[in-house]
Amino acid sequence: MKEPYIERMLRSFVSAMSFLFVMGFASVFYAQNTPLISGGMGFETSTNGGNTSYTPVIMPLLAAPLGDHLLVESRAILLDTVFPKTGKGYDSQHFIALSYLQGDYIATPHVTVVGGYFLIPFGTYNDRLSPIWISNFQDAPLISSLGTMTSGSATGGMLRGNAWSTSKVSIDYAAYFSAGSTNEQFQSSRASGGRVNAYFPHARLEIGTSYGHLLEHKQENFYGAHVWWEPAQVPLRVRSEYAHGEHSQGLWIEGDYRLSQFGGAESLIGRLEPVFRWQQTFRNSPDATDGLPSVDTKRADFGLDYHLPHEVRINTSYARQFSSTGNRNIWETAIVYRFLFPAWRGK
């Protein structure tokens, strides 16, 4: 990555943060509406096929409410990967980017208008599970690039909100349009799409479907579906997702079980959380740009997370990946700290 690019990205991020800080002063008079800084920082290691890389990463998020209806929010990612060079020694690569910078206007009880640079609502991983302080595994699912239009973000507008909510079901939606942008800070493709979710509180079951249409180059359609289930009486989460593109498709299913029934969530054993994920991708026709493996692939991830006090979590995982190009082992560890505090000190 070129250094001037990194400098420009850093300057853009610092400028965006400064802008949000200044804008946030407008909300200081509302007792509970002080702008917040949140996010996660961590140190990750990954050993893939015998090569180990090390990645310190920071993912800061800033949210500033303005008045009664507006929220301005932004998230960035800053990381530096140190990896073995061919031959001898190590090399490193920086990556700094804005994940999103958007304004949210709560127009009616059922409609929020979003404008700016925002995460594409396709499936569940991109806009709900990708922060390092949320995801159970260090690696994104193999199908995470399907439907998210390469960059994962859109430049344009989105309508979203809760369409219908009763004690039995809650239905929400998101629909967006994105313009194509080759700007270094705001890369996006010309695309449109959306997602509809139905949540059944009694069963604690969520079912959703997504659609995306790439409006440039290949004019490609993407379809997705997901099912999440959290049974009420046990600390178990089961998440699954399927995505289909013109050239490939795939699925993942993930379960995590916090051992809090052994002495409570704060006990030595109760802080442990075994996690498991099964993934499968299918290649229908060659496409080097869709981000999925070039051949049919299966992968099983076994993880063990440990929730330390003060918002620190240790993630460890082992994965075995099977494909016709060769099977491989992937070992990963990470320590992640989540922070959440007001943007400035108050009384």
Partner 1 sequence: MKSCKHLLIVVSLLAVSATFAQTSNMSAAQPRSDRHEARPKSVHEPQKSEGERVFDENCSRCHNAPEGFSPRISGTIVRHMRVRANLSEKDEQALLRFLNP
Site residues (CB under 8 A) for partner 1, limited to 272-311: 307, 309-311
At 58, is the secondary structure helix, strand, or coil? strand
144 is a site residue for partner 1 (CB under 8 A): no
Cα–Cα distance measured from residue 194 to residue 177, given in angstroms and rounded to the nearest whole number: 9
58 is a site residue for partner 1 (CB under 8 A): yes
Q: Which two tokens stand for residue 324?
A: 């016709």
Cα–Cα distance measured from residue 75 to residue 59, given in angstroms and rounded to the nearest whole number: 7
Residue 13 contacts residue 98 (beta carbons within 8 Å): yes
Residue 331 Cβ vs partner 1, minimum distance, rounded to whole Å = 25
Judged by CB under 8 A, the chain residues 310 through 329 that form the site for partner 1 are 310-311
Q: Which stretch binds partner 1 (CB under 8 A): 23-31, 185-193, 209-217, 277-285?
A: 23-31
* Residue in 64, 98, 191, 334 binding partner 1, rule: CB under 8 A: 64
97 is a site residue for partner 1 (CB under 8 A): no
DSSP E strand boundaries for 258-327: 272-283, 297-308, 312-323
Residue with Cβ nearer partner 1 (84 or 231): 231
73 is a site residue for partner 1 (CB under 8 A): yes
Residue 267 Cβ vs partner 1, minimum distance, rounded to whole Å = 10
Q: Which stretch binds partner 1 (CB under 8 A): 58-66, 184-192, 216-224, 243-251?
A: 58-66
* Residue in 172, 290, 301, 332 binding partner 1, rule: CB under 8 A: 172
138 is a site residue for partner 1 (CB under 8 A): no
Supply the DSSP symbol for 188: B
DSSP E strand boundaries for 67-180: 70-84, 90-108, 111-119, 153-165, 170-179
**Residue that the structure tokens 């929400």 belong to:** 172
Judged by CB under 8 A, the chain residues 253 through 272 that form the site for partner 1 are 258, 260-261, 264-266, 270
Q: Which stretch binds partner 1 (CB under 8 A): 137-145, 171-179, 289-297, 319-327?
A: 171-179
14 is a site residue for partner 1 (CB under 8 A): yes
- Residue 265 one-letter amino acid: A
74 is a site residue for partner 1 (CB under 8 A): no
Judged by CB under 8 A, the chain residues 224 through 253 that form the site for partner 1 are 228, 230, 232-235
User: Rg for the chain (alpha carbons), in Å?
Assistant: 21
Residue 118 contacts residue 100 (beta carbons within 8 Å): yes
Q: Which stretch binds partner 1 (CB under 8 A): 139-147, 172-180, 274-282, 290-298?
A: 172-180
Residue 42 contacts residue 57 (beta carbons within 8 Å): yes
Residue with Cβ nearer partner 1 (134 or 304): 134
Site size toward partner 1 (CB under 8 A) is 73
Cα–Cα distance measured from residue 103 to residue 157, given in angstroms and rounded to the nearest whole number: 10
Residue 179 Cβ vs partner 1, minimum distance, rounded to whole Å = 21
77 is a site residue for partner 1 (CB under 8 A): no
Residue with Cβ nearer partner 1 (35 or 224): 35
Judged by CB under 8 A, the chain residues 177 through 206 that form the site for partner 1 are 197, 199, 201, 204, 206
Residue with Cβ nearer partner 1 (131 or 147): 131
6 is a site residue for partner 1 (CB under 8 A): yes
Cα–Cα distance measured from residue 176 to residue 121, given in angstroms and rounded to the nearest whole number: 8
Name the β-bridge partners of 210.
Answer: 195, 224
Which parts of the chain fold into alpha helices (H)? 3-24
Name the β-bridge partners of 48.
Answer: 51, 330
215 is a site residue for partner 1 (CB under 8 A): no
Nearest Cα residue to 120 out of 62, 216, 192, 222: 192
Cα–Cα distance measured from residue 125 to residue 139, given in angstroms and rounded to the nearest whole number: 11
207 is a site residue for partner 1 (CB under 8 A): no
- Longest pairwise C-alpha distance within the chain: 62
